[in-house]
Amino acid sequence: MVDMQKSELPRLAILGGTGNEGPGLALRWGSAGYPIIIGSRYADKAQETAQALNEQLGIETIQGMVNNQAARKADICVLTVVHTAHQAAIESLGEDLQGKILVDATARVDFRDPRPPAPPSAARMAQDKLGPGVRVVAAFQNIPAHLLKKRLGEALDADVLVCADDQEAAQQVMQLAENAGMSAYYAGGLDNAVVVEGLTAIAISLNKHYGVKTASIAVTGIPKEP
């Protein structure tokens, strides 16, 4: 029964998945039973990361391959590159992503000079570049990598703001978040994502001022469904 359910879970590719955020998300989703592919510009680096994640979870199903191949094999692709690599990644993956959901998790900030970004959002730029054949959803930008890697079975003390023009794609990504132990909220269209991208600048300031690595935000004022 469990195996049947698991076989129905979408296959996830985490593109640029050898950094900080990507492996954290992979751990959560791998642990929840999703089939995972780690993508990287370099196949050997992707395979190394996949292997390390398999060992950590005691499984053998996480694969590593180059980004393009990973994107083609997946149902939902999650982009976790650093913001300086965002545009090049979108351009090189345009064909491979057609027909799929692209979750843009790019933290749009220069860590040496962490100022808030100006519109349009990275997610809007991605959507404009990729065209209507790809459904872009912005999510997970504000989830500290530090939190993802800890206590995998427990709920995270940070909420996911999901911005998308396509409601059905947003719902699928909210399900991904919930299955990884995060509460997710639909927070408007892709233009709103620039605010979530800017929360990284706020989190950096909070982390610095309060001497932590885990500052983020939760949504308040919305009663949870029973």
- The footprint of its own copies (CB under 8 A) covers 115-116, 118-119, 144, 147, 157-159, 161, 185-189, 191-192, 194-196, 198-199, 201-202, 204-206, 209-210, 212, 214-223
For residue 202, the minimal CB distance to its own copies (Å) is: 5
* Cβ-based nearer residue to its own copies, 88 or 212: 212
13 token code pair: 């590719």
Sequence-separated (6 or more) residues with CB below 8 Å from residue 221: none
For residue 172, the minimal CB distance to its own copies (Å) is: 16
Query: How far is 13 from 77, CA to CA, in rounded Å?
Result: 5
* Cβ-based nearer residue to its own copies, 33 or 116: 116
Distances (CA, A) of 146 to 158, 170, 193: 12, 25, 22
* Cβ-based nearer residue to its own copies, 74 or 193: 193
* Cβ-based nearer residue to its own copies, 74 or 203: 203
For residue 149, the minimal CB distance to its own copies (Å) is: 14
SS3 78: strand
Task: Name the residue among 50, 72, 52, 79 with its Cα closest to residue 62.
Answer: 50
3 token code pair: 């195996």
For residue 61, the minimal CB distance to its own copies (Å) is: 31
